Amino acid sequence: MRRRRVTLLAGGVGGAKMAEGFAALADVELTVIGNVADDEAFHGLWVSPDIDTVTYTLAGLINRDQGWGVADEAGRALEVLKTLGEDTWMFLGDRDFGLHIHRTARRARGERPSVIARDVARAFGVEAEIVLPTDDRVQTKVETDAGWIGFQDYFVRQQCAPEVKALRYDGIEAARPTPEALAALAGADLIVIAPSNPLVSIRPILGIPGIAEAVKQAAAPVVAVSPLIAGRVVKGPADRMMAALGHRVDAVGIAEIYAGLAGSLVIDEADAALAGGVRAAGPEPVIRPTLMTDLAGKRRLAGEILALCPEPVA
């Protein structure tokens, strides 16, 4: 029996955990469609935090303690940049700089960002395919009391402290989906929406013209995983952001966001009482323990999601 093709839509840390779970399953051929909308230029170099978190995680290079960045990292280059008067609130380690230098040089030569991301993943030994949803520039901006700011400014510099009044995704209307992303959705046996932030990780993927349509038209079942457990996220600002933007901050709120797209929504056992509300919103609720604290937990959750998918015919 051939391996099952799982296409995962994933943001940063939460998406990387889910990706690791599927990558650990021997009978899965994994493609990750990552988020590029938190990309930003620092010191003239193009930085792709979400994509790199997935790549580093699947390559086994991730700093396990913090969940992002590279192990055996140091900050000599950034220290010099600070001495030279540059703003260095965005931590970029020396190994990480190597990647950003490489990516920036290749982008400057006109190479497709998605080809660069694929080559980088392969060079680091990642077996899964890492696919960009678009080669065009899409950037999440956050409206705060102080006006519109860049996502990394909100997320890293201000540590998600400001109240979010609105979000926009600059460039998304004009962005074109990559053929690789469309193919990964059309050819999937199972499409999974990772327990990432639905508003700043998944929406800027789905909002690229053609991507949501490709998900809807795909033959494969679409399973979303709620990032909320008992109304709270494990990590990040998704819960506060959902509240601030008028969403219900629970599994039903997630179901409402993915209604019409996901046939099923995996919700945590702690949220079993919300199953009826989820079903009423659209997706069929699937109750499982969703906390991924170690590799065994990631693999278990991935396996349980895979079990929702019919065996492939050929």
- Cα angle 208, 291, 311 (rounded to 5 degrees) comes to 65
Rule CB under 8 A: is residue 87 a binding residue for a second copy? no
Cβ proximity to a second copy: between 93 and 113 the closer is 93
Give min distance, CB of 10 to a second copy, in A: 22
Q: Which helix (H) or strand (E) holds 129?
A: strand 129-131
Question: Within positions 98 to 137, which residues make up the interface with a second copy, using CB under 8 A?
Answer: 98-99, 101-102, 104-105, 108, 119-120, 123-124
> Which spans in 166-294 are helix H?
179-186, 203-206, 211-217, 238-244, 251-258, 275-281
Structure tokens that stand for 231 in this block: 């109304």
Give min distance, CB of 113 to a second copy, in A: 15
Cβ proximity to a second copy: between 125 and 179 the closer is 125
Give min distance, CB of 56 to a second copy, in A: 11
* Binding characters for a second copy, 41-70, by CB under 8 A (x = yes): --xxx-------------------------
Alpha-carbon span 203 to 304, nearest angstrom: 25
Binding segment for a second copy (CB under 8 A), chosen from 94-102, 193-201, 211-219, 239-247, is: 94-102
Alpha-carbon span 152 to 140, nearest angstrom: 9
CA 76 to chain centre: 29
Rule CB under 8 A: is residue 244 a binding residue for a second copy? no
Alpha-carbon span 176 to 136, nearest angstrom: 7
Rule CB under 8 A: is residue 95 a binding residue for a second copy? yes
Give min distance, CB of 48 to a second copy, in A: 14
User: Whose CA is closest to 12, among 185, 197, 181?
Assistant: 197
Q: Which helix (H) or strand (E) holds 226?
A: none
What is the SS3 assignment for 52? helix
Distance spanning both ends of the chain, measured CA to CA: 7
Alpha-carbon span 202 to 200, nearest angstrom: 6
Question: Within positions 254 to 313, which residues make up the interface with a second copy, using CB under 8 A?
Answer: none
Among 19, 36, 40, 97, binds a second copy (CB under 8 A): 97
Cβ proximity to a second copy: between 80 and 230 the closer is 80
Among 26, 85, 145, 146, binds a second copy (CB under 8 A): 85
DSSP state of 311: P
Give min distance, CB of 116 to a second copy, in A: 9
Alpha-carbon span 88 to 42, nearest angstrom: 9
Please give the size of the binding site for a second copy, defined by CB under 8 A.
32
Among 24, 68, 71, 81, binds a second copy (CB under 8 A): 81
Per CB under 8 A, residues contacting a second copy are: 43-45, 72-74, 76-81, 83-86, 93-99, 101-102, 104-105, 108, 119-120, 123-124
